[in-house]
Structure 1
């Protein structure tokens, strides 16, 4: 919709900038990486400061990839602190824009529909963006970049590509300017939602730019990438009909809960089963907390051996429930059926699918409803204790075994240290 104006604001090297701000340092001139020094040098840097990027150090590199001779500060990740900073920045957004017109895309990025605010403030979109960015910099010491576009997609591309080359960290695109300046831009992977896989498939038929995509026979694109070709064609022309209001109103037909754990070392078959049970236990608590039930379970197990295909499987239970006892039983059977007992394990993922409200809980002839209610009461009691006293206030015996990870992961956010002890 050409009568809309969107801002897409990103917090530059967010985690690294927060660590610099906490130390009273300028992230634009300070060499700092956010990485856990207790892990091996192969650990991934969650963020590197802009000054390190200027020296050619890529974001999300591994510690050993930082060239020797570059001095830098290594800051352990503090995920809770970053969330607190993100909340404060969201509060700054709310000074200017109603929450109905803000879509938080990630912890460090947000879209805003500013169409109805420009006349109110008697500002251009760029002036409003600068004011918000200056506020963030002034109050928190965090540098932001801003993309301005006539639709959500163009604001994102203006941020990701155009703003990076602007001295004021602001980029602007409408459909005409997009076609004029970026139709021949390479590589295609610079564009949102185009990964290496799609890019290589397109290259296989001689497509290397957005202009190529815009002018190729659409049937070729649908054959290459399926229904997602519709989005790619729109984006090639700089079109995006979706609005923030539509995103917020969207409700999926089916919902799921999932969690994945990348293990810090090789795990045996038996120790992997312990990790699986811990994961099921925690995700079942989430089910109970949300008053949801499921009858569909999925399991993924990845191995350390190169070339070894991961194990995947799913099962439909005869009951629809959130009982940890019932769900653990079925996951254990699934694990025993699909997992290779001889190859060390490095990744485990589980998913509860086809979630519905507890009101739709279903039993089979062998289910004792009273027993299920007793199980749920115990889970509710555990939830209440954890909410009041912390996640490690109550633990199961399995959580104290040597190979267990729950005790440590309860002190993490997103698999990284929260910063709280």
Structure 2
């Protein structure tokens, strides 16, 4: 494929070649819980659940032995776990996991400076190890040192993908390192055609979700190789800027810097939650929507941002005849005012809700601008006060806690914010 008259693979010589490690802690939550109980995380049968007292609670993590011997994995429900004395059930303690994650990052800091570490999630990080060869040896030797140190200090195992950029190190981790005996693998640009292009289904590629995959299928694209050889201008016409990213990622090219966001710029602020139980009362559903609008608006205000597009997703219970809906509405002016977001969500809800039982709700604010783009409205004199009130409420919560000031709906039947504010990462501390 040509780009500006030059074949993409010929551009590899001009692309900076870094040495990036993508490190993933194996069964992190379950392993932390096992070690804290004095169990071997590689051999014990342990499951981490949201709440042991709720049979419908989700399995958040499972040790490799539990997955292998009992077929229980992340996403199963508690009632699906066999009543077997060999199986240990523990509640999630997110504060503990976060504390261990911080200590793991401190261990990485022994090998590279902080600016060379990108914490992608609680259990996954990228390290740029350029310039460390004289201290720690080549990339294989350093990867093995990190593996050994993690096990000696925390009793935790990890897999490590090595690549010339963040993308290839991550894909190498997911598709290769996790399946090798040593749990360490390396990909270079020379491996793109032989290893990356054969990847199918498309969702196995980092950055491609189910919706993008379906759109690519409609274009006749079913493998990464087909994506790499699809006309760039057609992908950009269909996906915009994302089409450009999809194309170059299919060629293994990624210019993201460790320490910077994976995608430059915040493109949306969102919140999604699975309800504690099925909701069939519209009033209760709308109460939760308002609470979530408050959270999303607060996230935008924290970064002095506002959005012009409000998105509402409603997921129905398994007993419903269809899965639900996801719709968006673009308003006249960017906003981070809770009530304006809520009114847009109500409009979408009233238009598309068909009365089915609801189990999942998501709210997002997209089409992002700076907060200074919010315009005054001569016909709405209260808008500046509403905007200022939001920032005041945020300040109170930062100082006195998330539950220090709440909307009345959070105290009414169906409200979930008070309970969720006592959780870390959606689970018990």
Q: TM-score range by the shorter chain?
A: 0.7 to 0.9
* Matching residue of 1:383: 394
Question: CA offsets, 1:19-43, max 9 Å, x none?
Answer: 1222232211221111124465444
Q: Which residue of 93, 108, 123 corresponds with 1:108?
A: 123
Residues 234-245 of structure 1 mapped to structure 2, 5 A cutoff: 239-244=252-257
Q: Distance in 2 between matches of 1:46 and 1:76?
A: 9
2:173 aligned counterpart, secondary structure: helix
* Matching residue of 1:259: 271
Q: Do the aligned partners of 1:294 and 1:352 also contact (CA within 8 Å) in 2?
A: yes
* Matching residue of 1:28: 42
Deviation at residue 9 of structure 1 after TM alignment: 0.7
Q: Distance in 1 between matches of 2:420 and 2:288?
A: 11
Q: Do the aligned partners of 1:102 and 1:244 also contact (CA within 8 Å) in 2?
A: no
How many aligned positions are there?
A: 409
Q: Which residue of 172, 185, 190 corresponds with 1:158?
A: 172
Q: Do the aligned partners of 1:320 and 1:363 also contact (CA within 8 Å) in 2?
A: no
Q: Which runs of 5+ in 1 are unaligned?
A: none
Q: Distance in 1 between matches of 2:270 and 2:312?
A: 10
- 26-35 vs 376-385, which deviates more? 376-385
Q: Do the aligned partners of 1:318 and 1:363 also contact (CA within 8 Å) in 2?
A: no
Answering whether residue 143 of structure 2 is matched by residue 133 of structure 1, we say no
Q: Distance in 1 between matches of 2:410 and 2:177?
A: 48
Residues 263-412 of structure 1 mapped to structure 2, 5 A cutoff: 263-267=275-279, 268-304=281-317, 305-308=319-322, 310-340=324-354, 342-368=355-381, 371-412=382-423
2:399 aligned counterpart, secondary structure: helix
Distance 1:58 1:183, change over 3 A: farther
Q: Distance in 2 between matches of 1:33 and 1:395?
A: 34
Q: Which runs of 5+ in 2 are unaligned?
A: 1-14
Q: TM-score, normalised by structure 1?
A: 0.81
RMSD (Å), alpha carbons: 3.7
1:95 aligned counterpart, secondary structure: coil
Q: Distance in 2 between matches of 1:321 and 1:206?
A: 39
Q: Do the aligned partners of 2:197 and 2:226 also contact (CA within 8 Å) in 1?
A: no
Distance 1:315 1:266, change over 3 A: same
Q: Do the aligned partners of 1:14 and 1:108 also contact (CA within 8 Å) in 2?
A: yes
Question: CA offsets, 1:76-123, max 9 Å, x none?
Answer: 11222222221221122122112332222222111222122223x151
Q: Distance in 2 between matches of 1:262 and 1:65?
A: 19
Deviation at residue 213 of structure 1 after TM alignment: 4.5
- 343-352 vs 305-314, which deviates more? 305-314
Q: Distance in 2 between matches of 1:32 and 1:205?
A: 43
Q: Distance in 2 between matches of 1:19 and 1:236?
A: 38
Deviation at residue 274 of structure 1 after TM alignment: 1.2
Q: Distance in 2 between matches of 1:118 and 1:278?
A: 51
Question: CA offsets, 1:151-191, max 9 Å, x none?
Answer: 43332233223323433322223344566677768877655
Q: TM-score, normalised by structure 2?
A: 0.80
Deviation at residue 408 of structure 1 after TM alignment: 1.0
Q: Distance in 2 between matches of 1:7 and 1:45?
A: 29
Q: Do the aligned partners of 2:52 and 2:89 also contact (CA within 8 Å) in 1?
A: no
Distance 1:316 1:57, change over 3 A: same
Distance 1:383 1:110, change over 3 A: same
Distance 1:64 1:190, change over 3 A: farther
* Matching residue of 2:97: 82
Q: Which residue of 2, 11, 32 corresponds with 1:18?
A: 32
Residues 185-196 of structure 1 mapped to structure 2, 5 A cutoff: 190-193=204-207
Distance 1:24 1:389, change over 3 A: farther
- 83-92 vs 354-363, which deviates more? 354-363
Q: Distance in 2 between matches of 1:354 and 1:191?
A: 26
